Structure 1
Amino acid sequence: MNKQIAIIGAGFSGAVIAHQLAKAGYQVEVFESRSHVAGNCHSQRDEETNVMVHVYGPHIFHTDNERVWQFINGFGEFKPFTNRVKAITNNRVFTLPINLLTINQFFGKTFRPAEAQQFLASLGDKTIENPVTFEDQALRFVGRELYEAFFKTYTVKQWGMQPSELPASILKRLPVRFNYDDNYFSHKYQGMPANGYTEIVEKMLAGDGITVHLNTAFDPAMKGDYAHVFYSGPIDKWFGHQEGHLPYRTLDFEVLREQGDYQGNAVINYCDNSQRYTRITEHKHFSPWEQHEGTVCYFEYSRQCEQDDTPYYPIRMARDKLQLEKYLNIAQNETNVTFVGRLGTYRYLDMDVTIDEALKAADKFLECASSKTPMPAFVVNPLG
């Protein structure tokens, strides 16, 4: 029996699957086109300041999934971290997500929770019964003033299109709170790895039976050399973009190094047009247990992803769904290939979901191997 497995991509999807299958006795080869593991979660010490920098932008771990939390803690220490995002709009600083403090500051009020809830309900556009677009959703539930201050311009900068062109589901992920809780996330487990994400992924890939090839692309023509292939790269790239390039947003970063504390917080969003960047992230504040005299800040700019750029966010508009469906249909006809991760399934995934789905993919493969049934092209329906 051929027990050789190929995994394309050394991010969390690939590393988790590699670790699980190597434990089960398979020989795993991981192919990574970059010079490092951990994908867009790659972190490293800045040479000038010794600050732990999230090279491709910040990643904060948060989950309610017990299995995922226990699994990832097996590879490194996680320290408590609460993401408290600030937002600048019209030369004023507010707290995000919108909470009781934001509402009271913005409108110059001293509302109690029930009063704020009633007030916000009075601002919503009740003529919008079934919100379809991002703009509909915002106007229906927070009203025009908060929408224009915090969401409209920021969305244009982030996505390169008007909120009236985006689905309402994007805004459904942004809560409004009627208390003073300024924790950006509401999950049971939240934290940062004490020594960065790259060390964690390196430990996942350090077991017996795993060989990692950095700076190495994988040719789909090589798939016949392996019992199975797990592919976490862009699904359209696997098929030579035969149905065209799926659209992504990418990020550019301007890096500032200086002494002291630049902004006093890890993340500050810029929600109006006073600046072209969407946010500034100050990386030493992601490791509050450390002390650094210097600081490293990333000024973040979003734009359309071109052919040689690093893809970050799948856009997934209605027109893209039709294109994606063509790729999914082609993928179903592949043999011994499973598509995983954000790029392989063309979905925006948080780290904990990525790890959960990778664990399930490994479970499914072992189940299929035991029962001698074919492994599916997708463990999770990308259109679901």
Structure 2
Amino acid sequence: MKLLFVGAGMSGAVAGRQLAEAGHEVHIIDRRDHVGGNCHTERDGDTGVMVHVYGPHIFHTDDEGVWDYVNRFATFMPYKNRVKTTSQGAVYSLPVNLHTINQFYGKTMRPAEARAFLEEQADTSITDPQTFEDQALRFVGPDLYAAFFKGYTEKQWGCSPTDLPASILKRLPVRFNYDDNYFFHRFQGMPEHGYTALVEQMLDHPGITVQLGTDYTPGMADAYDHVFYAGPLDGYFDYKLGRLGYRTLDFEKFTEDGDYQGCAVMNYGDRDVPYTRITEHKHFSPWESHEGSVCYREFSRAAEPDDIPYYPIRMVDEKALLADYVALAEQAQGVTFVGRLGTYRYLDMDVTIREALDVADAFLAAQTEGRAMPAFAVSPL
């Protein structure tokens, strides 16, 4: 069959590769001039540093199948994400761990003591946290909340933490040991030559053609047996019901000689610092050595129509509009929506890859059984 993939990011590359290997003719288009989507990496011309052009991406997963899959196409180097934060005039480790707690309170507590101490600080009257702020006050208390979560969250999401669901904070654990590895997954690493090289290897197959700098138009679908759409769900329907809300990021790039901040990621928790974090990109490739350094100051704001969408907001209004778009999508013929934008969900890379593999399997099964491929392999709702 002739298949069109809209988007040359992880979703399109993985599912496209799988279906090309199964014998289908795969054509992939992307409006940008490079593959890899927001994972795109490139060498800085002045320093030689591998830069994560749209912000840092760290690969981490417990899915052994996904780990084995990406290692088919690239050598993954060991990498542990160790995040620091500057707050109230001091530098601390994140996520909040035993070192953070002892440093912040000027104590030398053991794990059990710290656990009991934080329970004393917590607002135990909150039995069913509904908001981000409720969740923080219940589990870390007002002091740690103010230092590490409140200001950062206001900058990142552009609203009060009282307006955000508690589920956002559930992804940020508190550790009662000295483990400062930001992630806790079994498999963690970085592709040795960057993510764009990884995606290029996925796309290197005789059954795949790639056309960059190309926007999708509805008439294109007529030339194909099926379309896999990884662009914005609302964009497929020309935003006729309105636009789904996203946060976007602005990057202020600067270069330095030597080592600017001594770590890959430095968050800034204070509300009066306008940026959320500074990333120093040579630290994402610690197996390399560079005299110069490339850094990004990162600013978060509401996405405008011409901005790159990063984080789906998924508040009450957006979820209602999403349900309307999902209903439209389910009535469409010959198209399956995939990936972060196509399903309006925040997805880590490993989940994106797993879902792309599953989408390819589902398509092959549907063809074998004579069934139509659904609009969504995973419901966005």
TM-score (norm 2): 0.99
Name the CA distance, whole Å, in 2 between partners of 1:55 and 1:246: 24
**Percent identity between the two aligned chains:** 61
Counterpart contact for 2:88–2:270, Cα < 8 Å: yes
Q: CA deviation at 1:273?
A: 2.5
Name the CA distance, whole Å, in 2 between partners of 1:152 and 1:32: 38
Among 16, 21, 24, the residue aligned to 2:22: 24
Name the CA distance, whole Å, in 1 between partners of 2:142 and 2:325: 39
Alignment of 1:213-292 (within 5 A): 213-292=211-290
Question: CA RMSD of the aligned region, Å?
Answer: 0.6
Q: CA deviation at 1:222?
A: 2.1
The AA in structure 2 aligned to 1:137 is Q
1:239-270: CA deviation from partner (whole Å, max 9, x where unpaired): 01011010100000011112100000000000
Correspondence for 1:46: 44
Structure 1: give runs of 5+ residues left out of the alignment: none
Q: Does 1:123 align with 2:158?
A: no
Name the CA distance, whole Å, in 1 between partners of 2:340 and 2:117: 39
TM-score (norm 1): 0.99
Q: CA deviation at 1:79?
A: 0.2
Correspondence for 2:314: 316
Aligned structure 1 segments of 4 or more residues deviating by more than 3 angstroms = none
Correspondence for 2:299: 301
Name the CA distance, whole Å, in 2 between partners of 1:41 and 1:10: 11
1:211-264: CA deviation from partner (whole Å, max 9, x where unpaired): 101000111232122111000000000001011010100000011112100000
Name the CA distance, whole Å, in 2 between partners of 1:194 and 1:337: 35
SS in 2 for 1:6: strand
Correspondence for 2:180: 182
Name the CA distance, whole Å, in 1 between partners of 2:139 and 2:87: 20
The AA in structure 1 aligned to 2:237 is F
Among 63, 85, 88, the residue aligned to 2:86: 88
Counterpart contact for 2:30–2:211, Cα < 8 Å: yes
1:143-172: CA deviation from partner (whole Å, max 9, x where unpaired): 001001100010010000000000000000
SS in 2 for 1:213: strand
SS in 2 for 1:249: strand
Q: How many residues align?
A: 381
Among 333, 339, 342, the residue aligned to 1:341: 339
Correspondence for 1:362: 360
Correspondence for 2:167: 169
SS in 2 for 1:50: coil
Name the CA distance, whole Å, in 1 between partners of 2:38 and 2:325: 24
1:305-345: CA deviation from partner (whole Å, max 9, x where unpaired): 00000000000001110000000000000111000000000
Name the CA distance, whole Å, in 1 between partners of 2:241 and 2:113: 53
Counterpart contact for 2:11–2:338, Cα < 8 Å: yes
Correspondence for 1:150: 148
Name the CA distance, whole Å, in 2 between partners of 1:310 and 1:228: 26
Counterpart contact for 2:98–2:175, Cα < 8 Å: yes
Correspondence for 1:105: 103
The AA in structure 1 aligned to 2:376 is F
Correspondence for 2:196: 198
The AA in structure 2 aligned to 1:287 is S
SS in 1 for 2:227: strand
